[in-house]
Amino acid sequence: MGTMPEPAVFPWSIPLRGRIKVRAEDFVVDEIPATVPDGDGEHVWLSIRKTGHNSEDIAEWLARAAGVSRVHVGYAGRKDRFAITSQWFSVQLPGKDAPDWVATAPERVEILSSERHSRKLKTGHLAGNRFHLRLSDVTGDHDAADAVLERIRSRGLPDYFGEQRFGHDNLGRARAWFAGRLRPRSRNQRSLYLSAARAAIFNAVLRRRVEEDTWERLLPGELVMLDGSNSIFPAPVIDDDLRLRCASLDLHPTGPLWGRGDPGSTGVVLALESAVADEHSELAQGLDREGLAHARRPLRMRPTKLSWQWDEGGDLLLNMELGPGEYATGVVGAIAQLQQQ
């Protein structure tokens, strides 16, 4: 197997070609917090807007500025480097005054607010993200793109992990690690490699189900997720009520985030997922050895507040809100083949 993930496939033809992130202001992301600081506690929470920096860059700067270990800095989700992004960070400072953040802030980093809270900000603790995107140098069928976007708005799209999950070569490094040719140098690297390995298996399962036209309907043996939550229940038999709730997007079929043991699905779903895992056996076995517990991810996502318009120059402007772990580049990739910068 190569070091790149399998390309995503969709149940429609891709109508456009274009480019994103031509400029940082073409990709604007604002984190939607799940919690806001209450003003008291040993953690300082900072809302930060940054351009040209990823989340880890900022976490390392905050640790240096505060004179604490990196493990005492938290954030909810990783944000792109080549973009304008705002998000929350936390720094544990029990009984200590906060430093002058502004004095040491890197270029193009703005402190929007700073307030204390009782808890550290942990990965995944966010309500979602708000995106404002520009697709430039567009060629293709605008009417067909409008139709695909209308379908996405009403029915959703396959919830592939985006390119950010794989980084420059995190999947290749995961394979090298599992084969004994490399070891992660830090906890962060370990997390990145494990995440890439899981994402590759999940995307391969989703690709198979898109090809078989089962990605948006329930199969016997599903683990079903309630919309807008992480609540999951088994569905060994699919009845009319479940079919109706799935069609209305109240329920979603899920795919595996691979770990130790079996994925928890049964029947035809287990057979399909096991077959895909066998095709990626070095990844599945490596994840098993590392002791990760199995988890699930919905096979589809439905962007909220999705809107778009074409500007006078033919660029496509997209606005949407997505939940945690959902990728705006996945939405763009469902309507446009992205050209290299």
The predicted model gives 321-341 an average pLDDT of: 90
Q: Is residue 22 a contact partner of residue 339, using CB atoms and an 8 Å limit?
A: no
pLDDT band at 297 (very low <50, low <70, confident <90, very high): very high
pLDDT band at 137 (very low <50, low <70, confident <90, very high): very high
pLDDT at 3 over 70: no
Find the radius of gyration of the CA atoms of the chain: 21
Q: Is residue 24 a contact partner of residue 54, using CB atoms and an 8 Å limit?
A: no
Model pLDDT, residue 341: 57
* Identified catalytic residue from 30, 38, 57, 80: 80
How many helical (H) and strand (E) elements, i.e. helices and strands, does the chain have? 9, 16
Model pLDDT, residue 249: 95
What are 179-238's pLDDT values in tens digits? Answer: 999 999 998 899 999 999 999 999 999 999 999 999 999 999 999 999 988 899 999 999
pLDDT band at 57 (very low <50, low <70, confident <90, very high): very high
Is residue 80 annotated as part of the catalytic site, yes or no?
A: yes
Model pLDDT, residue 70: 95
Distance (Å, whole) CA 223 – CA 254: 6
Q: Is residue 82 a contact partner of residue 51, using CB atoms and an 8 Å limit?
A: no
Report the half-sphere exposure of 16 (CA within 13 A, side-chain side): 27
The pTM for the full model equals 0.89
Domain ranges (residues) in the chain: 11-31+133-156+304-341, 35-124, 158-301
Model pLDDT, residue 274: 97
pLDDT at 1 over 60: no
Q: At what angle do helices 281-289 and 267-279 cross, to 10 degrees?
A: 100
What the block records as the tokens of 59 is 């976490």
Q: Is residue 38 a contact partner of residue 161, using CB atoms and an 8 Å limit?
A: no
Model pLDDT, residue 340: 67
pLDDT at 4 over 90: no
**Residue 83 burial by CB count (10 A; 0-12/13-18/19+): exposed, middle or buried?**
buried
The predicted model gives 28-48 an average pLDDT of: 96
Report in angstroms the alpha-carbon separations of 80 from 24, 86, 87, 188, 307.
10, 10, 11, 16, 22
pLDDT at 154 over 90: yes
**Is there a common fold for 35-124 and 158-301?**
no
What length is written for the chain?
A: 341
Q: Is residue 228 a contact partner of residue 200, using CB atoms and an 8 Å limit?
A: no
Strand-pair partners of 27: 133
Q: Please name the fold of domain 35-124.
A: Pseudouridine synthase (3.30.2350)
What are 240-295's pLDDT values in tens digits? Answer: 999 999 999 999 999 999 999 889 999 999 999 999 999 999 999 999 999 999 99
Q: Please name the fold of domain 158-301.
A: Pseudouridine synthase (3.30.2340)
